[in-house]
Structure 1
């Protein structure tokens, strides 16, 4: 029997790929007792899960509510009110309607218009850090860069980033963390209610004084003669604020760790940053995905990976595992900057393909360019095996990443 997958094991949190490979050899789909659900670990099964919404439903919140105790159910009601409006927890046709609205605001053309701003933010952040002494790259760069970008996008003052991030983390305790977190439902409610209050104030302000910005366009955009409701606007702002920061932060930290562990790749990238930066970012996404998994609920009985799954079962599509499937990627445990076919699932696939993928890619390209050009001798200031990893089924990356920014 293959080794069991345990998402609470610190060793597996740090490096799950050996377990995924062992499981994949034994079959693409396995029951995971700690999760009370199935995990899909091969590329074909993961792709099936994320591209077949009629069978694998993204609307998986109702069973969560039903499993809660009466006390927790009342506490969680305020969180579920908002999560139920998130596009990522909806199936077509309502998912299609919401995505049509948001894609008029968040799209490749809009992202490209942010290139200068993102470059300036990145440069300013690196300029403000001490050199030749340890600094937490995760907090000071990886979280702050996408944080400032999304705060600007949503019309939130940058000086409120820390509290909005705290509220987002609290809310994610409800959907993203493994078991064993104290007061997770009360904390999640606090985060949800706090964000809702702030975003409602910002929406009211934009209605009175419209700006030439993304938030105003979200408020005023019409599709088939209709706009989003105020609750849908607030929920979408929550979703964007959550999704646009943590995952990009872990793209940066996981990619930096990959460069640290593969100095030959770092040297190759530095020698041809113009030619390699675009494929490099996608290879970092594949090699160590910043999103570990995405969950679905079985809408009907089905077979997957040789297993019989029943209506109501939960399945976790392990995106990180699929991205190391040797049946799809040659030498999957190696970083290949040239000639790699871009078939990774780090941004999922199908109707739920990440709306913010172009923004994450651009932020990654700009940040890694700064790293290799300005700090070619950047090094970790702490052994990797002492750094704790995020306890989450969604985000994948370190909780801290002390580095020394040594220049040329």
Structure 2
């Protein structure tokens, strides 16, 4: 019987790696009937998908309309107005133009300037956590830390974080959820309209009263003498707000679970946090990537992983599967924070390499350093088997993570 990836299977959501191992043994690329698309699971095929935009296009939003009946098509069109402007759903040359704008703002100098404020955010959030009773690490710490960082970056008041997260979740129902979510197009439209209204107001404020901040620099950025349009600014803010919070929260949660499962590795890390935290974060990214897959649309007939793909087919490049490919990583199912050459694909690769990767790395290094320094005896407050996983083809991690700080 052919092996297939079924995102509705709770066991697969919780731990897809045994299935990925089985699929790789049978070939690098497989058809998934539940997804009505292809799934790439070996490192070579995944790398090809994410680094060959002329064959595997990121511009896959418009095709969604063709698959939908009315009135869902009208509702979806309202969301696609914004998603079609996201850099991650565009190919060169327009992708190149948008990335030049954003890269002029989100750059190494800007990221390093965040170190002090991010450390303060992490320590303040840790100070407020309950010390003698269980709490949800995912929401109270995981979402809050990167949430505050990105709210500050975009000039959004921190007290709007819960609203923005809700709207972001609603939009993600459109692009990241597996099937079976009720009214996901209507909810996605609500999230898109709400975020657009908030961000439009902030842009108007900055145009009237410029500041020395990221949003002002986005507004005034010029490429070939042109600035971003108002809609492109709003869409870019949506994309940043969406991508900067949940995936980093899952990096924290998945990393914490990996360290809980390997106490010897955790003790080694705690004994030399300053020396090991950077490489440990890279290994945690590889070991259980917070991004499950990157979706693409086949632009022209091609062959990949022994399969014939047709123009118009969908393919999901499983980044998490590629990061456990034994052809690239020795003992890939072991967590090794020292001595491992780490060419992981957790942030993708090529023109769509995650622009926010340096920010996520900085946040994770600070978060794990502070967390493990203060609470080396942190432990789960509930059996892992009872914790549900996120129903998504993009994000990978637990829906909640009850812990005791000890």
TM-score range (shorter-chain normalised) is over 0.9
Q: What residue number does 1:75 align with?
A: 75
| Separation of aligned partners in 1, 2:169 and 2:81 | 17
- For the 8 Å contact 2:4–2:31, the answer to whether it is kept is no
Is the 2:4–2:30 contact (alpha carbons within 8 Å) kept by the matching residues of 1?
no
**Counterparts of 1:99-178 in structure 2 under 5 Å?**
99-178=99-178
The question of whether the paired residues in 2 share the 8 Å contact of 1:296 and 1:314 is answered with yes
User: Within 2, Cα distance between the matches of 1:378 and 1:2?
Assistant: 42
> Partners of 1:264 and 1:2 in 2: how far apart?
38
Deviations 1:261-315 (A, max 9, x none): 1111110000011110000000000000000000000100000000000000000
In structure 2, the gaps of 5 or more residues are: none
Separation in structure 2 between the aligned mates of residue 130 and residue 318 of structure 1, nearest angstrom:
37
- Contact 1:40–1:317 (Cα < 8 Å) also in 2: yes
Partner Cα separation in structure 1 for residue 163 and residue 369 of structure 2: 29
Shift of 1:4: 2.4
In 2: Cα distance, 1:62 partner to 1:167 partner: 22
Q: How many residues align?
A: 406
Give RMSD over aligned pairs.
0.6
Mapped contact 1:87–1:236 kept (Cα < 8 A): yes
- Which residue of structure 1 lines up, in the alignment, with residue 241 of structure 2? 241
**Structure 2 CA distance for aligned equivalents of residues 109 and 331 of structure 1:** 36
Q: Secondary structure of the residue that 1:60 maps to in structure 2?
A: coil
1:21 aligns with 2:21: yes
Residue number in structure 1 paired with 2:227: 227
Taking the aligned partners of 1:125 and 1:398, their CA distance within structure 2 comes to 20
Please state how far the C-alpha of 1:5 moved relative to its aligned partner. Answer: 1.6
Residue 201 of structure 2 corresponds to which residue in structure 1? 201
Q: Distance in 1 between matches of 2:158 and 2:152?
A: 7
**Could you say which residue in structure 1 is the equivalent of 2:320?**
320
Rounded Cα–Cα distance in structure 2 between residues aligned with 1:376 and 1:3: 41
Structure 1 residues 275 and 2: alpha-carbon distance in aligned structure 2, compared to 1, 3 A threshold: farther
Q: How does 1:19-58 map to 2 (within 5 A)?
A: 19-58=19-58
1:231-310 aligned within 5 A: 231-310=231-310
TM-score normalised by length of structure 2: 0.99
2:175 partner SS: coil
- Which digits, 9 at most, give the CA deviation of each residue in 1:202-243, with x for residues without a partner? 000000111111000000111111100000000000000000
Contact 1:29 1:38 in 2 (8 A): yes
User: What is the rounded CA distance, in whole Å, between the counterparts of 1:17 and 1:340 in structure 2?
Assistant: 20
Is the contact between residue 29 and residue 40 of structure 2 (CA under 8 Å) also seen in structure 1?
A: yes
Q: Secondary structure at the match of 1:199?
A: helix
Give the CA deviation at 1:370.
Answer: 1.1
Instruction: Name the residue aligned to 2:211.
Output: 211
Q: Distance in 1 between matches of 2:253 and 2:274?
A: 21
Report the counterpart of residue 88 of structure 2 in structure 1: 88
Q: 2-side partners of 1:46 and 1:127: how far apart?
A: 41
Cα deviation per residue 1:124-183 (whole Å; 9 max; x = unaligned)? 000011102101100000000000000000000000000000000001100000000001
1:1-50 per-position Cα deviation (integer Å, ceiling 9, x unaligned): 35322111111100000000000000000000000000000000000000
Q: CA deviation at 1:352?
A: 0.1
> In 2, are the aligned partners of 1:244 and 1:360 still within 8 Å (CA)?
yes
Q: Tell me the distance in 2 between the aligned counterparts of 1:109 and 1:318.
A: 32
1-side partners of 2:93 and 2:342: how far apart? 29
Contact 1:2 1:22 (C-alpha < 8 Å) held by counterparts:
no
Q: Answer yes or no: is 1:395 the counterpart of 2:395.
A: yes
Counterpart-to-counterpart distance in 1, 2:103 and 2:360: 15
1:378–1:405 contact (8 Å) kept in structure 2 = yes
CA distance in 2, matches of 1:88, 1:242: 12
Q: Is the 8 A contact 1:296 1:315 kept in 2?
A: yes
Q: Superposed, which structure 2 residues align to 1:360-375 within 5 Å?
A: 360-375=360-375
User: How far, CA to CA, are the matches of 1:311 and 1:182 in structure 2?
Assistant: 30
For the Cα contact (< 8 Å) 2:387–2:400, is it kept in 1?
Answer: yes
4+ residue runs of structure 1 moved beyond 4 angstroms? none
Query: d(CA) in 2 for partners of 1:107 and 1:286?
Result: 23
CA distance in 2, matches of 1:336, 1:228: 43
